[in-house]
Structure 1
Amino acid sequence: MKICPAEPHDLAKLLAFREEAAAWLSQLGTDQWQRPYPADKLLATIEAGEVFMLRDGHATAATVTLTPDAEEGLWTEEELQEPCMFVNKLTVGREHAGQNLGGRLLDWAGDRAHRAGARWVRLDAWTTNEALQHYYIAQGFKHVRTVNEGVAVNGGPRVSGWIAQREARPTAHDFHDLTPPPRRLRFAA
């Protein structure tokens, strides 16, 4: 499998991935991702070079966003002084489930964050999706705290405030990495 940057023409596939994931999550009894994600915001992250596609031949198996930008209101000013990158929108296509692609993408993200000069790879998860929280803990993330107050980026109530981190480190992920070298974080040592 190969990992490469998403391109603007991938927008429809990424939105369909989100819809597929929302339907699957609903079957599991969670309301995570039930609101449509704004296409313009997703396109902006694609154009910023922060969205990556995992391809299995011509099929898209999974996607992840890796950004130096924190969602407002989740991390303290002190925490944001530490060099870090943030994982968002990790999604595995249902036909590729059960292959540990999510765990390997988290390893890839941690490796890329390390090469960018980050100390931490951080994420937030749905506050009511305990299965997802346990998954991230099993992947080596440590729960920092749960933030319930405030407004989310999309203007709705805060629902994704369970925050966690793990050290960014070199990791073997076994993907053929076709991404350009990461930009060094501006505050990295």
Structure 2
Amino acid sequence: MVLPETTGALVYRMRPAALSDRGRIEELATRRFAWMKRTGHEPWPQTAELIASRAGDGVAPMWVITGADDVARGCTIVLDTLGRAVFTDEECAEESLVLVSTLTDPASTGEGLGSRIAWWAVDRAGREGKAWVRRVTSEDGLVRYYKSQGFDVVRVREFQGRPVVGMQRRAQLLGPMERLTAE
């Protein structure tokens, strides 16, 4: 795992998304989707508006990563229940956190926000006594990126006509210099 450079000060924070974050999340999702289109990545089935509507909705447990200014720079939904498209019944029975719909603002490229979100989840799962952090993707580029964060491929299955890759990483307590993100 390669850690971003840091001065030692925690500049980023993870917090539950609030209704007041919806506009900002829609903006960053719109920018991310435009970036994906320009760079030849598969579009998401969700719209930026739909993703933003999950902030503070009381249903989908969305979290945002913010800078010192408390402005959302990325988001993710953290579930404790796995879907069965890729994972087995036995894996679904294991205690885990599942990251879905993770987006970061392309304007923050180079800040390592996606890795910070992943490491926060690994640490949080460790603090909660969970065994794993899991995620799924259908993008080869994200498989490589998640591997750089310490995730391993569990299996690939076809779901709704496309290959879906299930990945996992052991939960663990990370020291403050590894975590780099406060809660």
TM-score category of the 2 structures, normalised to the smaller one: 0.7 to 0.9
- Letter of the 2:146 partner, please give it: Y
- Letter of the 1:135 partner, please give it: Y
Q: Pick the aligned partner of 1:10 from 21, 41, 48.
A: 21
The equivalent of 1:112 in structure 2 is: 124
**What is the SS of the residue equivalent to 1:26?**
helix
Taking structure 1 as the reference length, the TM-score comes to 0.78
How far did residue 49 of structure 1 move? 6.7
- Higher deviation after alignment, 52-61 or 9-18: 9-18
Residues 124 and 45 of structure 1: CA distance in aligned 2, closer, same or farther (over 3 Å):
farther
Taking structure 2 as the reference length, the TM-score comes to 0.80
What whole-Å deviation, never above 9, does each CA across 1:51-73 have from its counterpart, x for those lacking one? 11111214322212211022342
Distance 1:97 1:41 in 2: 20
**What is the SS of the residue equivalent to 1:148?**
strand
Residues 50 and 23 of structure 1: CA distance in aligned 2, closer, same or farther (over 3 Å):
same
Q: Is the 8 A contact 1:105 1:173 kept in 2?
A: no
The equivalent of 1:64 in structure 2 is: 76
The equivalent of 1:170 in structure 2 is: 173
Residues 99 and 33 of structure 1: CA distance in aligned 2, closer, same or farther (over 3 Å):
same
Structure 1 ranges of 4+ moved more than 4 A: none
How far did residue 158 of structure 1 move? 5.4
Distance 1:121 1:27 in 2: 30
Residues 120 and 133 of structure 1: CA distance in aligned 2, closer, same or farther (over 3 Å):
same
Q: How many residues align?
A: 168
The equivalent of 1:74 in structure 2 is: 86
The equivalent of 1:139 in structure 2 is: 149
How far did residue 121 of structure 1 move? 0.3
Note the residue ranges of structure 1 that are not aligned, 5 or more in a row.
150-156, 178-189
Note the residue ranges of structure 2 that are not aligned, 5 or more in a row.
1-11
Distance 1:58 1:44 in 2: 15
Q: Pick the aligned partner of 2:42 from 18, 31, 52.
A: 31
How far did residue 133 of structure 1 move? 0.8
- Letter of the 1:136 partner, please give it: Y
- Letter of the 1:141 partner, please give it: F
